[in-house]
A and B are shown apart, each in its own frame.
Chain A
């Protein structure tokens, strides 16, 4: 579907980008790209029967990136005017010129691209009246009321990002990406024990690049009573025991595990150290490609910016590289990195395709797009059936991983003991810890396609200045042997 260029308003955005690129190349840049981005967000949150937040924000501007004498420069301006475009371009050149490169920078060859893309939607989230969104939240909020429930929260969100990228190499692509999502959460307390329960995921629920039909399909109102009942039960549940045991994770927690221990370490900019001062580096080395055993043979990880509904889906990344599905781990072997044109050239493989910027005022970085653990076979019950003694954990609650993405510790909101292949008593405060390759090496079961779910997160942080990326992960419940469970302070 074609994006409606008129949405940008009366100014010719294409001409502004062209003016910026011309100004940059005229000032000596050997490469330049200009991105105009207009973004709108709506967020509705209710809390214990009251509207807690109802906001509608928009932001627009132009960001210009240049390569001058082998050095990068980036500058941006909120003004979508000839002056704003030119000023941003010249300031980017000034910054690049002031920061001389010690090494030459090459960009992988990409054929100039042109095209448009728009997220297919049945019901545009911005056509849904705010009043309807508020009512949806309040009804779900009310449906969580019950004994021991201290706090009830419901939230829905929507985003439209309309952007045009034009480069000095002739690329000109325009995209309109639409996403929405929602979630519910409640907190319970009893005798000093405090617990939380969320659906469909913690941290602002889950989002999808599609229309409001996704939020309706979440059935927040229908799920609310179960969420509240589980929260209330958790405050009376036993603490998760400690020990080394078999763990079965639900799809949500597997998605978090994929994000932290596969997604970030396979970002090639981290491998080369360019995130060392903030998000960290990676235990992987460029030479590990094709030889490093990441996990068991059941581990198949795919980066796929073409996934329908994925928050990391696009037709072109923010360098204009066409979207392409790509294996990252095949049968446990590392076979791909997430790359930019620059890092791809450095490693001599691929041509990038994972560069994304949070908005017009941030430089594109290597980011996850949609990173999936490919499904295996069978059901959750099949995974459990093969466990004599262990723990089944659901819904991420806490996460932490070291700067090389090796040593991690996760906690989940809820767990159940597994006894003789069946779920037993409910457990609270479940945590597990491990070392990335050993942990994935202990993977010995992944449920099948019917259990595979797509989770969309909007809080993936990276970069200085910081950028929050929206990424999706598809995952199914998975079983891991010999996991250290129940870390105590």
Chain B
């Protein structure tokens, strides 16, 4: 996917610069961009390592599992057909909690495990089950309590208050999640796409 987008961007820019007569600016940009990218990566490296380290402590000390316990009653409402003591339900809560804490790398393996469990319940069908739709949609709505990566980026570009956007991110994510879940559950009721 990105292969096409990237080549299209590069080719289109070069054609466009010739048409608009911006070739001089373009050549300067080519040289500057590499340096700018490296500069950015170095600024990010410190804060990124710091937060990954802190979040690792959260994971190992059971903080993530604690958050999972808090959210499990809510998730029970969304997945009424799953056994709340079962492994699949556990994977789902861990996946959602890790996402909430911004631990993308921890969330993904739990998510894949949850999908395997749901697949078993679905009898290995090639059509997604109601639970799968809800689970995947929740993962695409990106609920995050602490957008550390975003804060890091804002900080490295000289923001005066890198985390001021947090409340806005919560409101916006919550609205997105509400729309996603309403559509997912609503259409599940009408058995959309089911034979």
| Physical interaction between A and B | no
Binding site for A on B (CB under 8 A): none
Binding site for B on A (CB under 8 A): none
